[in-house]
Structure 1
Amino acid sequence: MKNFYLSVLLLTVAFTGLQAQKSDPEAKKVLDAVSAKFKTYKAVQVGFLYSIEDAKGKVQSKKTGTLLMKGTKYKVTFGDQEIYSDGKTTWNYDKSAKEVTVNNVSSDANAFTPQKLFTSFYDKDFLYVLNGEKKVGAKTLQEIQLTPTDKSKAFHKVYLTVDKNAKTIQSTKILENGGNKINYTLNNMVTTVNPADASFVFDVKKYPGVEVVDLR
């Protein structure tokens, strides 16, 4: 996967036409609560573990990353990738290639931002059902199954785990049509951070020798 939002966000790319009446209203209550809770935070820093399993359950890849968000701004660090966005411009830095690609942030309301992963990703072309809940240690976890209504998508199921009391997403499992499973486990969510706006801007001066590909 080229970067964080190209891999997660099979979940969120330009969906239309959800028929909410066919979804589980109890699942919607859970998802709405997660969205409402997230919107109360001024800034959030999240650590995550990403892995890919093949059809036999063998782990093919495993990486860790961090996601920092403030309003419409974000920074993602993931393997050899660093993605910065100040809400107007996006910088995608590939460490291994020593190259940064610069783009304008899309004005399309359907365009993905990491913030949508925690708020409105389920509002479009998904049918969803609450599978139930279970105790894991001191936590009560709720599992929601999401099915895309567009059958041409590269995945056929998404399983979302939510901490019932904290109203936060704990993990996401994406089942691809080819049999692979993409797993994200979120941890170390810190909601008291106050990052400077400069944290979301790629400063070329700090990366001597980097090639800049400006697509604006």
Structure 2
Amino acid sequence: MYKKLAILGVFVLTTFAMFGQQEPKAKAAFEKAVAIMKYSSVKMNFSTIIDMPTAKRKQTVTGTIWMKGAMFKLVMDGSVSYFDGKTEWVYQPDNNEVTIASVSGRDQQAMNPLAILSNYEGKAAKIIFDPNVRSTPATEVIDLFPANQAAAEFKIELRLNPQTHYPQSIIVFGRDGTHTYITIHSFQQLPALNNNTFVFDVKAYHGISVNDLR
């Protein structure tokens, strides 16, 4: 569960004295990327490394996610997760078992990359081009710093294709020392997905074991 929350939820700030400072071009590029994820149906193939220095271990996973606003379907680590904006189903094919749970607003932010990135759309967050990495015609590098110093992350580094505004990678720097590196190998805008894509149909699986935590 932690891996899924860390991956979908994506987190990252060295201390800056001034919040609210923004580079208009960086902010515009960021908001275009968020708009694509917010208002389109998309599919992403990704790999993730979660580096936890305090635990002295790294975890590497790969997966595929389909998203439509707050809803998603995620295939990762041999399981399939469905989320319709309120309820989550996690299906384990090997056991023919599904776990059903209601998800709070706070947990939704941890599960959906769009939710945490949307937190930076306001005027308070600091959004700038990374001063230490030169943007190229193929990649622009944007740093996001939260205005809320209680946020789990202190900085997010977002790399975008400047032509399409598609995300290429996300690095989340957590205040607890955990770094999450997400590489997006492919990003596709799709025709509008039916909302049923994000709902698990229990009746379609004969003999399934249901663990309902709602």
Q: Give me the TM-score of the superposition, normalised by structure 2.
A: 0.73
Q: How does 1:57-136 map to 2 (within 5 A)?
A: 60-70=58-68, 72-94=70-92, 99-104=97-102, 106=104, 108=105, 111-112=108-109, 114=112, 116-117=114-115, 120-123=118-121, 126-131=125-130, 133-135=134-136
* Structure (1/2) with the larger strand percentage: 1
Amino acid paired to 2:135: K
Amino acid paired to 1:157: K
Q: Which runs of 5+ in 2 are unaligned?
A: 13-17
Alpha-carbon distance between aligned partners in 2 of 1:84 and 1:178, rounded to the nearest angstrom: 29
Amino acid paired to 2:28: K
| Residues 9 and 116, structure 2, Cα contact 8 Å, conserved in 1 | no
Partner of 1:21: 20
Which structure 1 residue ranges, 4+ long, deviate > 6 Å from structure 2?
none
Residues 86, 152 of structure 1: alpha-carbon distance in 2 compared, 3 angstrom cutoff: closer
Identity fraction in percent: 26
* Deviation digits for residues 155-185 of structure 1 (CA, Å, limit 9, x no counterpart): 3221111111111111101123343321111
The structure, 1 or 2, with the larger RCO (C-alpha pairs under 8 Å, 6+ apart) is 2
1:146 aligns with 2:156: no
* Deviation digits for residues 73-116 of structure 1 (CA, Å, limit 9, x no counterpart): 3211121442212345321335577643323455x599436372
Q: Using the TM superposition, give the Cα deviation of residue 144 of structure 1 relative to its aligned residue in structure 2, in angstroms.
A: 1.2
Tell me the matched-pair count: 204
| Residues 68 and 74, structure 1, Cα contact 8 Å, conserved in 2 | yes
Partner of 2:15: none
| Residues 89 and 98, structure 2, Cα contact 8 Å, conserved in 1 | yes
Partner of 1:15: none
Residues 65, 23 of structure 1: alpha-carbon distance in 2 compared, 3 angstrom cutoff: same
1:2 aligns with 2:24: no
Q: Which runs of 5+ in 1 are unaligned?
A: 13-18
| Residues 47 and 189, structure 1, Cα contact 8 Å, conserved in 2 | yes
1:44 aligns with 2:77: no
